[in-house]
Every structure is written in structure tokens, then in C-alpha cells.
Structure 1
Amino acid sequence: MNGEWQGSPAWCGEVCGEFVATVESGRLDLPLPGAGRTAQRWEALGALAQRDLSLARLCEGHTDAVAILAELTGRNPPEGSRWGVWAAQPPGPSLAAIPEDGGWRLRGTKQYCSGARVCTHALVTAEAPDGPRLFAVAVEDLEPVAGSWGATGMAASDTLDVFFDAVPARPIGPVGGYVERPGFHHGGAGVAACWYGGARGVAETLLAAAGERDVGPHALAHLGAIDVALRTARTALREAADEIDADPHDLKGMGRVRSLRLKTLVESVATDVMGRVGRALGAGPLARDRAHGRRVADLTVYLRQHHAERDLAALGAIIAEQGTVW
């Protein structure tokens, strides 16, 4: 594996190697969303994110793929396989699914594929003639686009664009099944657990500093505000997990609203935590503490999975139509 990561920072290879070891150890055999232990699942993802957000991104993708396969096929992936979920649809190059010889082939480019080289398989969304579909592919058949991730944040998550040159693919579920299943919103809510864990990791820098020296009243005020914010996020995560376990098939139709609310809250908390730690401690940790600096850079990028005002507008439209109880 060392040769595979030549030219990358040393910790990039280490993170991907740790991902491989984590999968093979069975530590990612987490409870499925809605199976009665969703809080335990999210706690495990949050703990991984507190340690390393790039590692958590890879692990979260793998566990999400396992949950999707269980929901849409009723089967587990092959033992030892490492999976990603590549479902981003930003402006720019896209991926098409072409029926051919009784099967399917994928042509085009998929952007933002985390684990592009370290995963063995991926679930990929593509546009088929009959509508959007989800497919399973073997990563060994793909061509990652070198240099397509230029950022420092999340660099160790092995996120690259991937080119598909008539790659054979196996359809998973029906047309539109990926987004129409109840677990789509359960999985989306689970990403917030990773953001929360990352925010805890950033906050630890201020907590440690306050335990070692007199940081002054202003920094202590920021620490107090961070404590309130993180506890609020933790409470919201536990409540959402309990609600998912109580209605795993989303018969009440609250999955989307729950996911939008939770992600918006945790994104706001994580953004606030980063700002407060920076204001409390100044540039020192960002300039001299490599782990802290990378954690802030990683979390800044990871949080942009939240679509900001677009998600808020979607939530507001639902509330305006359906009403709510405050």
C-alpha cells in the first residue's frame, strides 16, 4: 500500500490504511439505522470523527453503503469489501447509465468520490433512460482523476473525481429507489453525527488549554457557550435517533423534516464551535498545532455537505405547507 500513496502526505496513507484495518477488524459492523440502536450507531461514528474526520468520512460511507444494501437487497456486502457511496450531483460532469447486452454500463465522470482508490466497491447514482438509478460497481474497473481534489481539508479521505469508461454495473433497487426509500433520510441525518464528533474534536483544543493555564475570562465564556451548544447538539441527535427507531419505515412521513432540522442545527453548532475556539485562542493552534489545523480544515469542508440556505428554504417550504408545533 505504501507505493500506492507515494506523493501524498504521510497521514493520507495512514488514514486510508486505518480505514482498511477498521473494516477488516469488524469495528464498522454497526447497528443499522432504525433497528433499535441508532444512537449507538451514531455514537460510534461521532467517536471516529472526533479522532479524525477524514477517517470518519470513509467509515461513514462504508456503513451507509451497508445500510443501503440491506434495505434495497436484503443482503450484506462480501466480507472484507470496502464500500463508498458516490451520490453527489453538483454542476459539471455527470454519469450516464446505458442498457447494454442485457446489463448496464456507466459512462462519464462522477465527482466527489470519497475512497476513490481505497474502496473495493461503490454504490453510484447515475441517470438512466428510465430515470435516476443506483448501481454497484467494482472500483478496480475505474479511473480516478489525479489531482481532482486540490484542497487541504479532507485531503486524506481519498476524494477524487472518477471516470467511468463503459464500466459494467449492477442495478440496486428500482428506478428512484435510492432517494425514495425511508433510509435515505435516516442516513442523511447520520452525517450530522460525524459533524458533531468533529466539533467535539475542535473544542477539545480549548478545553485542554483551559485546563493547563489561565486563558482569561473571554476564552472561558467561549468555552461555556461551546458546552451549551455541544450538549444541545447531542440531545438533538439522541432524540432524532429515538424517533427513527420508533418509526423506521417513516410511516409518519417525518424523515425529511427530521434530517433537515438535525443537519441544520449541528452544522450551526459546529460552525459556532470553530469560530469560538479561534476567537478564544487566536492563531496559535491553527499555525502550530498540525492536528488541530487539519481538523478545522477537514470540518470546514465536511460541513459543506449541508446545503446552507437551500436546505433552510426546503425546510421552510415544508413548514409553511404543513405547519408545525413550536
Structure 2
Amino acid sequence: MNGEKQGSSARYGEVGGEFVAAVKSGRLELPLPGAGRTMQRWEAFASLAQRDLSLARLCEGHADAVAILAELDGPGPSPDSRWGVWAAQPPGPSLTATFEGGGWRLRGTKQYCSGARVCTHALVTAEAPDGPRLFAVAVEALEPVADSWGATGMAASDTLDVFFDAVRAEPVGPVGGYVERPGFHHGGAGVAACWYGGARGVAETLLVAAGERDVGPHALAHLGATDVALRTARAALKEAADEIDADPHDLKDAGRLRSLRLKALVEAVSTDVMGRVGRALGAGPLARDRAHGRRVADLTVYLRQHHAERDLAALGALIAEQGTVW
């Protein structure tokens, strides 16, 4: 057990260092969603995720925070500052905001805070007396809850619960502004690019194996199906990116439907790819290839950001209400 913890700690330090370097180098100065190069932004996420999903999670969060601040006229990120977006609303402990002494204070516990110890700042959702609000906070004033992430998957993403003890916070945007802005669904769709990149990383193990030895006709069939699935996901991402660039302010009110469709498709493709690679190659890569085993564990956890039947039901309700053309 101690060896497991030490391994996770080493990975967290390595990935955290890469995240810091990515911010400093300017690598994360990406086109904003809807600015005409959304697919270029998503390909950057996919490339990061193909190499390391934990790193991609941190980098995507930082890039998303920069986009949110720009859209809601929030404070401009200072050079080398590293941002996260902590907006999960699971059952359990929650965060509340009160206005006192001339400013806002946050109290309570926020769950699933990626980059809890490596980010310098975060955008955080909290429930205020006048409704849900978004706030900017300095992470140095916060208390991460040790060992609040027990999973092997995404362990290096530094995702912890964080305790807020009357922490000063700066409001960003109006009440409800975080979810009501057009970019909310653009950002949600961008997460699918990380899943797609993670699936590419898992599939690479099968591609390399098939290039090095005779893996047999069944494995080749799985490779062929994987190729079709990943190309389908990429085409869907490109179509969605083009639609966002054509309507950045979501005047057609298509953002939520587009995001739900895209995430459902890429989640299904990624799940299928993991299954096919496992069936094609057996237990060997999972047992003996540490990098492959980590990719599978990371992607399994990351995909659960998709809410399965709940999101599919939301998609079905929209289609039933609006109609569609198949």
C-alpha cells in the first residue's frame, strides 16, 4: 500500500511539473472557443490526452478558466498563474457564499478540485443567497483535504476535496452567469476532445502490436473497428468545432444539444475502443505495460464525467421537444 502511495505521489509531482512548464512556455495560450480555430484548440487537448490524461485534465482546466474569464470579463490571469475550474456539484458537502465586511466569503467543502495543490488560482461555483455564482480565489488560502482521492485512475491530476474557511473571493460574472453563458456548452464539448485523445492513446497499443507481430485476424478486425470509431469521433469533433466557430454566441440555441450529442458519441467510442483493445490483446498489456494500464485506468475514470443515461435522457428530451433530422 505504501508503495502504491509513493508511486502516485511521484506521478503527481511529475505531472504537476509538466503542467507548470506548459503554462510557462506559453503552450496553453490556445485559441478561445468560437474564435475561428476551435478545432486547433481541441487538437491540442487531444494530443496532451493521448500522452497523459492527468496532464490533459490540468491543462484543459487552465485553458477553460482563461476562456471563462475572457467571456465574463473577469480578472485577467497574471503571467505564469495556473488556473483550475472547480464547478462539480455532486451529492454531499457543498460550498456557500456570503457577502460580509464589504466582500464575498466562501465556506464549506468543494469536491473534485483538479490541480488542488499545483494551481495558483481557481474559478469556483458556490451557492449565494441570490443564487449560484462563480468566484475567483487564490489557492494559497485554501486547505486541500489529504487522501480525498482514492482511485488509481487520474491519480496524478491532483484532484482533491478542498476546504474553504471564510476564504475571500472575487465574483466573476452575474448570478447564474457561469452556466447561462454561450461558452458553457462550448467548454463542455471540449472535454470530449480529451476523451478522444485518451482513446487514441489506448488504441496506440494495439496499433503498435499489429505493426510488430502477427496478432491474428480477430485482433486485426478489432483494429479495423477501432480505426472507424476514432475517425468517426474526430469527424464529429470537427463538425462541432466548425459549428461553434460559425455561431460563437450560440444565437441558434444549439449549444446544449451539440454538446450532449458530441459527448455521448465520444464516450461511446472511447468505451468501445478500450473494450476492443482489451479483447484483441488480452491481459498482457494491462498486466505488464505500466503506461497502457495507466491510460486505461485514467480513461475509465475520466469518462465518468459523462453522466451516462442521465445525459442520454437529457438528449432524448431535447430531441423529443425540438425534433430532428436523421
TM-score by length of 1: 0.97
Give the length in aligned residue pairs: 322
2:158: which partner in 1? 158
Q: How many angstroms does 1:10 deviate by? A: 1.8
Q: For the residues of structure 2 that align with 1:138 and 1:74, how far apart are their CA atoms?
A: 14
Q: Is the 8 A contact 2:52 2:198 kept in 1?
A: yes
Q: For the residues of structure 2 that align with 1:8 and 1:200, how far apart are their CA atoms?
A: 23
> What SS is found at the alignment partner of 1:215?
coil
Q: How many angstroms does 1:9 deviate by? A: 3.3
Q: How many angstroms does 1:12 deviate by? A: 1.7
Q: For the residues of structure 2 that align with 1:95 and 1:175, how far apart are their CA atoms?
A: 15
Q: For the residues of structure 2 that align with 1:9 and 1:198, how far apart are their CA atoms?
A: 22
1:315: which partner in 2? 315
Code of the aligned partner of 1:136:
A
Q: How many angstroms does 1:11 deviate by? A: 1.9
1:104: which partner in 2? 104
Q: Where does structure 2 lack aligned partners over 5 or more consecutive residues?
A: none
2:300: which partner in 1? 300
Code of the aligned partner of 1:85:
V
> What SS is found at the alignment partner of 2:252?
coil
**1:195 and 2:195 are equivalent in the alignment:** yes
Code of the aligned partner of 2:204:
E
Q: Is the 8 A contact 2:61 2:85 kept in 1?
A: yes
Q: For the residues of structure 2 that align with 1:7 and 1:324, how far apart are their CA atoms?
A: 49
**1:284 and 2:253 are equivalent in the alignment:** no
1:84: which partner in 2? 84
Code of the aligned partner of 1:48:
L
Structure 1 vs Structure 2: percent identity of aligned residues?
Answer: 88
Q: How many angstroms does 1:76 deviate by? A: 3.0
Q: How many angstroms does 1:234 deviate by? A: 0.2
2:16: which partner in 1? 16
1:245: which partner in 2? 245
2:266: which partner in 1? 266
Q: For the residues of structure 2 that align with 1:6 and 1:120, how far apart are their CA atoms?
A: 24
Q: For the residues of structure 2 that align with 1:149 and 1:87, how far apart are their CA atoms?
A: 17
Structure 2 CA distance for partners of 1:169 and 1:252, relative to 1, 3 Å: same
Q: 1:164-215 deviations in whole A, cap 9, x for unaligned? A: 0000000000000000000000000000000000000000000000000000
2:43: which partner in 1? 43
Q: For the residues of structure 1 that align with 2:144 and 2:122, how far apart are their CA atoms?
A: 13
**1:113 and 2:116 are equivalent in the alignment:** no
1:141: which partner in 2? 141
Q: How many angstroms does 1:6 deviate by? A: 7.2
Q: For the residues of structure 2 that align with 1:324 and 1:185, how far apart are their CA atoms?
A: 19
Code of the aligned partner of 2:164:
F
Q: Is the 8 A contact 2:8 2:155 kept in 1?
A: no
Q: How many angstroms does 1:102 deviate by? A: 1.6
> Superposed, which structure 2 residues align to 1:22-61 within 5 Å?
22-61=22-61
Q: For the residues of structure 1 that align with 2:82 and 2:229, how far apart are their CA atoms?
A: 34
Structure 2 CA distance for partners of 1:151 and 1:6, relative to 1, 3 Å: closer
Code of the aligned partner of 2:55:
L
Q: For the residues of structure 1 that align with 2:130 and 2:43, how far apart are their CA atoms?
A: 39
